[in-house]
Structures are given as structure tokens and as C-alpha cells.
Amino acid sequence: MTVARHPLDGADPIRETNMQTNETPRYDSSVNTTGCCPRFNPEGWDGQELHFKDKRFLRATTRGVMHIPLNMGNVFSRVSKHIDDAGASDTDQFIVLSRDISPWSSEHLFSVAKSVPGEEMTTLSGDFLTKVFEGPYSQARQWHEEMRQIARNRESEPGDVYFFYTTCPKCAKAYGKNYVVGVTAVA
């Protein structure tokens, strides 16, 4: 583990650790008082360097209006059921990478342990940096720019920026925290 300067202001140190290839920080799902989303434990997620080489994901898309999702609940429920039915859950390495591909559509990459019948499969390769945010979803535009700046501060041209929305809005309200993990591709 190395200690680096905070990428935005150069003053506050953040911890960066290198994960093994295709590994993500451990997803702790042990506390689930809502019966829906587990309480997200952000420990170990901030300042990570992720390295993916043909990491397996299930790809799904949702519709939206000006970046506001319309059918996310239905799509996530369908995908979760298909993943469970296929025994493809990647429980400890769970992550869903989401990004808007237009004001009308979003892409969601669900990490899986194996192929899921009836769903589109894809892989992802590259190096990524993470940052944990806490706050309302309305800050996503600011977080997106912050992730791009993190890449630039690493002397890298910013690549795709994804967000791991760790809980649904109802669960975030129940837990009193809305953690979102930014994940940016770096060269």
C-alpha cells in the first residue's frame, strides 16, 4: 500500500492500494435491515487501483429522460433474478458499474462469476481508480468531473467514468447514507 496526495487538492493524503487482477474490494453484504440493499461499508473502496483483464460482466441498459432513470428497478430485478438462477453471483467481488451513454440511456455492467443465459455478456479490461462519494444523486455531474480530474492528476487522459450506486434510493434513505463509488479508467 502506498500513500499518495489527494488528487484534487494535493493536500490530504489518500490511501491507494493495488488490487490483484480482476479483484475488487470486498463487498460486505452482512448487514441488511431493509430486505433490499445491504448497508454499504465503504472501508477499502476509496483510492483503489483496479486492474481488469477480460473481467466478466453482464451488460444491461435502462431508459431515462435527461439522465433520470425510468426502468432501473425493473431491469435490476430481472438481472438479479437471472444471475441468481444461473448461480453466477460474484458475492465477495460484487460491483455494478453504471454510466450514462446518452441523456436517454444508461449502461450497467454487473460483475458475474460465469455466463448468464438470456442476458448480454461482455468483458472489461483496463486500469481504474476509485473514489467514494456520499451525498444525493444530484451531485453525479460534479462527481463525474471530479473523477476525470483524478485521472488528469495522474497524468492520464480520462477514460470512461462509471458509478457504483451501492444502494437504491429507498435503502439510502433508510440507512441515512448514500454512498456512490466513482470508477474512472486511466491509461
Domains of the chain (ranges, CATH numbers)? 2-186 (3.20.80.10)
Which tens digits make up the pLDDT trace of 152-174? 999 988 899 999 999 999 999 99
Which tens digits make up the pLDDT trace of 109-155? 999 999 999 999 999 999 999 999 999 989 999 999 999 999 999 99
Confidence of residue 103 (pLDDT cuts 50, 70, 90): very high
Q: What are the distances in angstroms from CA 148 to CA 104, 151, 162?
A: 22, 5, 11
Which tens digits make up the pLDDT trace of 32-56? 999 999 999 999 999 999 999 999 9
CA dist., res. 12 & res. 27, Å (int): 26
pTM: 0.87
